[in-house]
Amino acid sequence: MTTIETQATATAVPSGKRFFTLAGRYGTVAAFLALILFNVVFTPNFLSLQTLNVNLTQVATIVIVAIGMTLVIATGGIDLSVGSLMAIGGALAPMIFMGTLFPVSSMPAAVALAFVLPVVATGLLGLFNGLLVTRFAIQPIIATLVLFIAGRGIAQVMTNGNLQVFRNEGFQFIALGRVAGIPAQVILMIAIAAIAWAAIRYTMFGRQIIAVGGNEKAARLTGIPVHRVKLLVYMISGALAGVAGLIVVARNSASDANLVGLGMELDAIAAVAVGGTLLTGGRANIVGTVIGALVIQLVRYTLLANGVPDAAALIVKAALILLAVFIQQRAGKS
Amino acid sequence: MLLSMQGICKSFNGIPALRAASLEVGEAEVMALVGQNGAGKSTLIKILTGAYRRDEGAVAFAGEDVSFSMPAESQARGIATIYQEINLAPQRSVAENIYLSREPRRFGLIDRSAMRERAAAVLRTFNLEIDVDQPVAGFSAATRQMVAIARAVTQKARLVIMDEPTSSLDEREVAILFDTIRTLKRGGVSVVFIGHRLDELYRICDKVTIMRDGKTVATAAMADMPKLALVRHMLGKELAAFEAIAKDADEGERRPVRLSVENAGAGVRVRNVSLTVREGEISGLAGLLGSGRTETANLIFGADRLQRGEIRFDGEVRSYRQPADAIADGIGLVAEDRKVDGIIPDMSIRENMTLALLPKLARAGIVDRARQDEIVARYVTALGIKCTSPDQPIKELSGGNQQKVLLGRWLCTDPKLLIVDEPTRGIDIGAKSEILRLLRRLADEGLGVLMISSELEELLAAADRVTVLSDGTSVAVLPRRELSEAALFAAMAHQVE
Amino acid sequence: MNPLLKALTLKSPGDMARLGVILALFGLILFGALRYENFLSQYNILSFLRYNSMFALIALGMAFVIMTGGIDLSVGGTAAMASVVAALLSPYHWAAGLFGGIAAGLAVGALNGFTVTVMRIQPFIATLATMLAAYGTGLLLAGNQSVSVSYDSGFTAIGQDDFLGFPIPAWIALLVYVAGWLVLERLPVGRHVLAIGDGEATAALMGLKVRRTLAAVYIGSGALAGLAGVILASQFGAGQPTEGVGWELFAIASVVVGGTLLTGGSGSVGATLAGALLLAMVFNILNFENGLGWISLSAYWQSVIRGGFLLIVVVLQARLMSRRTGEERV
């Protein structure tokens, strides 16, 4: 059978191609180093433990969500529902240890449940996303749009839109606690990133993810359970969004279903794109995603620390996303 | 002479696809253009329409030298191409599809009644009375083609190129299409008819141009070209390239049957196929393009669902719902289209090779990297894969080496049956005989091999038995002792009447 | 076949979905009219139309984008930014506010068109980014707070006054929808939009100007979002840089509920309007239901219900699509 090909496009000059390849490979790291250098020179007190802590705690939730997003994107999908799922996880946890949901007999058990149940719940909602994508063959953007819209509503309905204010040392350890001086959420972030990195590198599941995103048809022909792999990545993405939701509410000592995770899907996708994972799937650069999230955080920090308003930071972020995707696409073509 | 293409050459990345091809079409003439996959038909057509640019040669259309740089230009000059499905907007109405981009207008608005009436009038000249307001997706493939042809006619096309127009049509629809072609001819329009079903070519075409290996090897009036000669021209005969490596004739017949397919069918592409593969033999599957070979392989492998008939593996009736089931039984498939169905381009040689083996390589989900490396190293050596390291992305390898990696993907699972679909497609001649010898060696070790090939010399050299498909039906089984060039030609030229 | 019967014949899965939404809309109106005393009161109808016109405008632009197989996530941010621009310009003349706001929307639309057709970035990423940029620009222009409009230039009339007994925003929406219908059904470019959604490669082969048409569609969506922003500023007396969050989803849901296939190539202006009205009415009925005092569903239920609507519709669409491709295969 003859396939239609549009006119062969004039190939770019080789040097231009190499530029995009290089930019695609090292651009993010270069940007990261440049940002640090810039800050060392121009931002007062940049090289302090406090600055480090502020930036790391700020970036932890983005990284955690972005790692789930990296896996989903690696299979060729996308998950727009993460922000809403964060709101659900964040709304559920306080309801458990405050006894709104069911009577609490022992606080330690309740706190344990407050960690586990929200993550299970958001994981199941992620599974629901996966079912729409696999069983019903709905495009991922649309399938996850359902929970993007309904998810925050569910969280708001659960809490009646009220702010849940609390003080619970056990639960809040996840955000406020420190181990050996390192914030617990940073440790959690590092642990999750390390597990994901190892999973991609060392496990069968990791290879199946890449294969599904790289060539779904060929993957099926080698016996890879394509549907199961996709279900799992959406579930993981949902569960990680739940974890991030817990951290956010614990950090704020309050859960506001209207605000928790708002716009997180953008930050996560941006981190993945800036981190060098092709949005078309077939690659999962976990380290890149972490650096991508750091770059985005550092850009925001740099602008704020130097008196540029937050609003301008949004514009810079937009340009950053477009540039990163553009470079990745160009580099991917060669 | 309406169209004259002479001495056309075209290379892609230094690999010649056309070497001095030619095509001449007269006024109001139906010209058959035939050739095996890779013979250069599509490339030649794309050069004509302006989708590709030629490296050398001359094209004259309607008495003028032309050199189109995009399909829109050739369309404007009166060359229309009818692909099987793709060149209509499926959800738009018949009338819109005929007039899209040239809508009749009144005061700037689309004059819908004029468009409707004109469309209906054009279709009536082809004896087609349909509701032109309906979306084309709802009509049969034949009607859609007619709509595409009507579009071409309203664009004042003088040459209509039809690419395998009958491949998804039933007998009645083919008759309608041929009536349409005759109508075109009466109207002074010429047709280039690319097709593979020989009896159809003899029914409708005036002349035939045969291509092989990027060259035009014969042009003749249809009446002067017997079927057998046509097939011979298409397939060529360069048998010296391969040493005979098939088994002694009688030994094979006594071996236990590994796979037997009985009266299998699904959809319209596979109608009624029966074949067997024995332990330790290479069973060939031959047939012209579009005869249902690849579709048969997909059925056996569980990539498509069997609708009729029966598949037995090691004596037991099996019904595979997905490839994983077939793989679990010890079946492997090296697919015809490496890029689409085979390689995961960005993954390394190592990962590509061990994909099917992963469940056995992993303990508690973690891949045993030492074993993986050992297995990959073994097959890289055994298959002679040329690469910088197993970490190299597979997309960087040559076609032959990619194919070896894909062979390795199945060999390392220690399969009982290996289906290879065009195993030497796009591979240089040295690597070809290497791969054939490899398959032979594996068969000698007990593996059953089902080899699909359109290169007769390959089948003659390596197969212990050849099943010939024609139009989705197995029409002949030639055991080794009856296997000859003439016998294969005769069986393949056979058409189900 | 008699013409009436022919007109009623359903041609495609899209037609069925579109018929469904119109029936559902009438069903909901009937339900409301029977259940609530003041549902069909002049006050309720007029305020319903006044408030929801801007959403309907955005939905129309989105419908065209989705018909090409794309998506425009930037409309909410664009509307917010346009409301700020309009508010800032309103002291000079009402027309300055009106056209300034539309121009701001046009600019974002042009940026979308550029990123999608020239940089070849997937529409959802491109418009996600421009959404950020639009919000950022709006916030910068407004100095992070809402900007009061001028009450002297007549600018507030656009959103607040009536004309012939109907709210001006409703007139605007009506006019734009009629124009939209004309473009889609009677102008070549409308049919080209649908053909491009059916398959870009095919459309290009058929001689359509794919890039130019795509760019025009994104620009149109941006302009309509700008217009919605103008109405927002005028109606509420202020340019609101943080408004518009989730508007894109409301628009997408309206379009989808209106039977436009997300894969592109099909769609209807009328059903999009019905979809937007249907989703808006869910909220309206929720208010009345709470008013009755039987139950107390919070306003938060509306997004859950909208999500539910979207879920049902996309699942049905997926079913219809798979049945159709299934038929084609045999």
Interchain CB contact of B421 with A (< 8 Å): no
Task: Please give the pLDDT value at position A8.
Answer: 37
Interchain CB contact of B72 with C (< 8 Å): yes
Q: Let me know whether B420 and B409 are in one domain.
A: no
Residue B336 covered by a domain: no
Please provide residue B428's backbone torsions phi and psi, each rounded to the nearest 5 degrees: -70, 160
3-state secondary structure of B351: helix
Q: CA–CA separation, A41 vs B387, rounded Å?
A: 46
Q: Let me know whether B378 and B439 are in one domain.
A: no
Q: Which candidate in C178, C189, C191 is best for mutational testing of the B interface (most B CBs within 10 A)?
A: C191
pTM of the predicted model as reported, rounded to 2 decimal places = 0.81
DSSP bridge partners of B81 = B161
Residue C234 covered by a domain: yes
| Closest of B493, B492, B429 to residue B461, by C-alpha | B429
Task: Please give the pLDDT value at position B300.
Answer: 92
Higher pLDDT among residues C127 and C9, named by residue? C127
Determine the average pLDDT of the residues in B230-253. 61
Yes or no: say if C296 and C229 are a contact pair by the CB < 8 Å rule.
Answer: no
CB-CB neighbours of C172 under 10 Å: 22
Cross-chain Cβ contact B89/C206 below 8 Å = yes
CATH number of the domain at B470, please. Answer: 3.40.50.300
CA of B83: which chain C residue's CA is closest? C202
| Closest of B444, B451, B447, B448 to residue B466, by C-alpha | B451
Of B380, B414, B448, the last residue of a domain is B414
Question: Can you read off the two tokens belonging to residue A130?
Answer: 């996966």
Q: What is the pLDDT of residues B327-356, one digit of tens each?
A: 999 999 998 888 888 999 889 999 999 999
Instruction: Give me the residue label for tokens 């040097």.
Output: A15
**Among B171-185, C179-193, C287-301, the range of highest mean pLDDT:** C179-193
Neighbours of chain C (3+ CB pairs under 8 A): A, B
Burial C248-257 (b: 16+ CB within 10 A, else e): bbbbbbbbbb
Yes or no: say if A94 and A166 are a contact pair by the CB < 8 Å rule.
Answer: yes
Q: What is the pLDDT of residues B449-469, one digit of tens each?
A: 999 987 777 888 888 889 988
Question: Can you read off the two tokens belonging to residue C313?
Answer: 């519709």
Q: How many CB pairs under 8 A join A and C?
A: 138
Q: What is the pLDDT of residues C39-62, one digit of tens each?
A: 888 889 999 999 999 999 999 999
Higher pLDDT among residues B70 and A115, named by residue? A115
**Residues C107, C109, C112, C116: is their CA dihedral positive or negative?**
negative
Residue B335 covered by a domain: no
Residue B273 covered by a domain: yes
Cross-chain Cβ contact C304/A147 below 8 Å = no
Residue B110 covered by a domain: yes
Residue C116 covered by a domain: yes
Q: Which candidate in B86, B346, B420 is best for mutational testing of the A interface (most A CBs within 10 A)?
A: B346
Task: Please give the pLDDT value at position B371.
Answer: 92
CA distance A223 to chain C (A): 24
Residue C169 covered by a domain: yes
User: What is the tally of structural domains in chain B?
Assistant: 3
Q: Let me know whether B349 and B489 are in one domain.
A: no
Cross-chain Cβ contact C201/A148 below 8 Å = no
Q: Let me know whether B214 and B174 are in one domain.
A: yes
Task: Quote the distance between the C-alpha of residue B224 and its chain's center.
Answer: 27
Q: Let me know whether B42 and B16 are in one domain.
A: yes
CA of B95: which chain C residue's CA is closest? C191
Residues 236-255 of A with CB under 8 A from C: none
Residue C104 covered by a domain: yes
Cross-chain Cβ contact C311/A321 below 8 Å = no
Cα-Cα-Cα-Cα torsion B130, B134, B138, B144, nearest 10 degrees, comes to: 60
Write out residues in chain A with pLDDT < 70, as ranges: 1-17, 332-334
Cross-chain Cβ contact C314/A325 below 8 Å = no
Yes or no: say if B424 and B455 are a contact pair by the CB < 8 Å rule.
Answer: yes
Residue B158 covered by a domain: yes
Interface confidence, given as ipTM, is: 0.81
Of C12, C192, C203, the CB nearest to B135: C12
Task: Please give the pLDDT value at position B248.
Answer: 55
Q: What is the pLDDT of residues B150-208, one digit of tens each?
A: 898 888 889 999 988 877 677 777 888 898 899 999 989 999 999 877 888 899 999 99
CA distance C185 to chain B (A): 8
Interchain CB contact of B143 with C (< 8 Å): no
Residue C114: HSE in the Cβ half-sphere, 13 Å Cα cutoff: 9
Q: Let me know whether B30 and B155 are in one domain.
A: yes
Q: Which candidate in C205, C268, C317 is best for mutational testing of the B interface (most B CBs within 10 A)?
A: C205
Q: Let me know whether B224 and B247 are in one domain.
A: no
Q: Which candidate in B100, B112, B131, B307 is best for mutational testing of the C interface (most C CBs within 10 A)?
A: B100
Higher pLDDT among residues B66 and A12, named by residue? B66
The percent of residues above 70 in pLDDT, for chain B, comes to: 94
Residue C26 covered by a domain: no
Q: What is the pLDDT of residues B348-393, one digit of tens each?
A: 999 999 999 998 898 888 999 999 999 999 999 888 888 888 999 9
Q: Let me know whether B387 and B284 are in one domain.
A: no
Higher pLDDT among residues C317 and A33, named by residue? A33
Interchain CB contact of A137 with C (< 8 Å): yes
Residues 305-324 of A with CB under 8 A from C: 309-319, 321-322
Residue C11 covered by a domain: no
Check pLDDT > 50 for residue C1.
no
Check pLDDT > 70 for residue C326.
no
CA of A147: which chain C residue's CA is closest? C307
Residue C122 covered by a domain: yes
| Closest of A296, A76, A60 to residue A191, by C-alpha | A60
Check pLDDT > 80 for residue B438.
yes
Domain range spanning residue C222?
39-245+260-266
Cross-chain Cβ contact B89/C328 below 8 Å = no
Task: Please give the pLDDT value at position C277.
Answer: 93
Question: Can you read off the two tokens belonging to residue C22?
Answer: 């119109």
Residue B108 covered by a domain: yes
Cross-chain Cβ contact B351/A204 below 8 Å = no
Q: What is the amino acid identity at position B308?
A: R
Q: Let me know whether B456 and B468 are in one domain.
A: yes
- H or E stretch covering B331: strand B331-334
Q: Let me know whether B401 and B304 are in one domain.
A: no
User: What is the tally of structural domains in chain C?
Assistant: 1
Residue B338 covered by a domain: no
Q: Which chain B residues are closer than 8 Å to A6 by Cβ? A: 51
Cross-chain Cβ contact B101/C206 below 8 Å = yes
DSSP bridge partners of B64 = B61
Interchain CB contact of A147 with C (< 8 Å): yes
Interchain CB contact of B344 with A (< 8 Å): yes
Q: Let me know whether B123 and B150 are in one domain.
A: yes
Domain range spanning residue B324?
239-330+416-497
Q: CA–CA separation, C107 vs C88, rounded Å?
A: 17
Of B193, B212, B235, the last residue of a domain is B235
Q: Which candidate in C114, C132, C147, C283 is best for mutational testing of the A interface (most A CBs within 10 A)?
A: C132
Q: E-assigned strands of B66-177?
A: 79-82, 105-106, 109-110, 159-163
Of B235, B251, B273, the last residue of a domain is B235
Interchain CB contact of A217 with B (< 8 Å): yes
Residue C275 covered by a domain: no
Cross-chain Cβ contact B164/A1 below 8 Å = yes
Neighbours of chain B (3+ CB pairs under 8 A): A, C
Cross-chain Cβ contact A153/C300 below 8 Å = yes
Q: Which chain A residues are closer than 8 Å to C135 by Cβ? A: 311, 314
